[in-house]
């Protein structure tokens, strides 16, 4: 009968409650991009009105079109009556004017222009409704699990919904997929048609020196923010929603980011593809295998905590063939007491086939003689 072995790998480096953070926001997530660790979350899977934060998706689609060579920053789109008439925050484009894509991008990111969103949507897809359908499909492709777009602007609509978790995923994809375009999100002001407007992201104007991403506000969703800060060789991403005022949004965002930077640290256990342990194989044409993670193993932890986090390698013994290099052979667990905080699949460094009939007889004979499995390597 197979036994499950938990091998104590590295002992304690933490203590109290990892989820000690609290927030007045109705929904929130704080995430360390370098270790892929969730520092804090609250109601992160609730469907909410994302307000103008969903414009990150509109911009993502534009960045993708540019990267794929289907769109240029110098291309121009004509302003329709629908775009010109749209209410809410505006870039102040004029009807029938031709506007460069790069100006529209700045008008959406910096000025949160609803009119700019519609011009871009109509220019890319022919209509805002078709553009919205394409956003929903693209969202699924990039890993958004519960996002439904009915417009390009984030205008309140009972069917236009996202989760904080999806906003985080979208931000991660934006940062990783389009690093050369991320600078647009850190621009503090933009002037168009003689009208200068400041970026609404409050963290751009603090000592945190945020370099993105987007605020949002509607009566349906409240005040929200997706922000990212790169400091002390770490990149944090914060998503907040459901706050009561822009002042609360600014104070809460700065407070949580500073807690993440100052009270938490990253611990790197091992690099990707580095041998963690050698395991014996029973009944295979190889005597043993080395196991490793295809990802860097790391975690973000509170600095003050000393005792409750431990690291384990978990696998089933005996190790039996066939063994594939593509199928996990075990797990690396990061635990707080009995709670699993993170886990990584572990893989074999080589394929192992079953022994043939004669090899099995020889192995069993040697086991009877010497009390151990002896397999000659090929």
Tell me if 279 sits within 8 A of 319, measured CB to CB.
yes
- Token pair of 216 as six digits: 């949002």
Give the three-state DSSP class for 376: coil
Rounded CA gap, 133 and 149, in Å?
A: 7
Tell me if 79 sits within 8 A of 142, measured CB to CB.
no
The active-site residue out of 54, 112, 125, 171 is 112
Query: What is the residue whose two structure tokens read 């777009």?
Result: 149
The active-site residue out of 52, 132, 210, 348 is 52
Identify the CA nearest to 120 among candidates 159, 85, 83.
Answer: 83
Backbone angles phi, psi at 214, to 5 degrees: -160, 140
Tell me if 359 sits within 8 A of 285, measured CB to CB.
yes
Angle at CA of residue 354, ends 353 and 357, nearest 5°: 140
β 27-32/37-42 pair status: antiparallel
Q: Is 112 a catalytic residue?
A: yes
Radius of gyration of the chain from its Cα atoms, rounded to whole angstroms: 26
The active-site residue out of 41, 55, 86, 286 is 55
Residues serving a catalytic function are: 52, 55, 112
């Amino acid at each position: 009968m197979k036994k499950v072995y938990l091998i104590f790998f590295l002992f304690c480096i933490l203590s109290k409650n990892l989820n000690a953070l609290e927030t007045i926001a109705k929904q929130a997530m704080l995430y360390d991009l370098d270790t892929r660790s969730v520092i804090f979350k609250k109601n992160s899977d609730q469907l909410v009105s994302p307000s103008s934060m969903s414009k990150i998706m509109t911009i993502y689609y534009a960045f993708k079109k540019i990267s794929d060579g289907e769109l240029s920053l110098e291309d121009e789109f004509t302003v329709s009556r629908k775009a010109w008439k749209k209410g809410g925050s505006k870039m102040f484009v004029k009807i029938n004017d031709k506007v460069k894509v790069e100006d529209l991008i700045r008008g959406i990111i910096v000025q949160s222009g609803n009119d700019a969103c519609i011009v871009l949507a109509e220019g890319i897809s022919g209509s805002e409704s078709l553009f919205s359908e394409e956003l929903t499909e693209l969202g699924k492709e990039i890993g958004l699990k519960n996002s439904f777009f009915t417009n390009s602007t984030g205008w309140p609509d009972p069917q236009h919904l996202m989760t904080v978790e999806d906003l985080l995923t979208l931000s991660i994809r934006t940062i990783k997929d389009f690093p050369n375009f991320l600078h647009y999100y850190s621009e503090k002001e933009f002037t168009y048609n003689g009208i200068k407007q400041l970026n609404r992201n409050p963290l751009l104007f603090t000592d945190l020196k945020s370099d993105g991403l987007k605020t949002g506000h509607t009566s349906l969703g409240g005040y929200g923010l997706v922000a990212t800060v790169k400091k002390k060789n770490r990149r944090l991403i914060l998503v907040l929603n459901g706050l009561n005022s822009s002042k609360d949004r600014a104070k809460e965002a700065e407070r949580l980011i500073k807690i993440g930077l100052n009270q938490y640290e990253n611990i790197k256990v091992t690099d990707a593809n580095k041998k963690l342990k050698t395991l014996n194989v029973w009944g295979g044409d190889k005597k043993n295998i080395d196991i490793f993670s295809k990802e860097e193993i790391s975690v973000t932890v509170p600095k003050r905590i000393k005792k409750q986090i431990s690291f384990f390698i978990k696998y089933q013994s005996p190790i039996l063939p066939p063994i594939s290099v593509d199928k996990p052979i075990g797990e690396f667990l990061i635990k707080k007491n009995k709670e699993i905080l993170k886990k990584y699949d572990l893989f074999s460094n080589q394929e192992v086939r079953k022994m043939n009939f004669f090899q099995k007889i020889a192995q069993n004979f040697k086991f009877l003689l010497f009390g151990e499995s002896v397999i000659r390597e090929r």
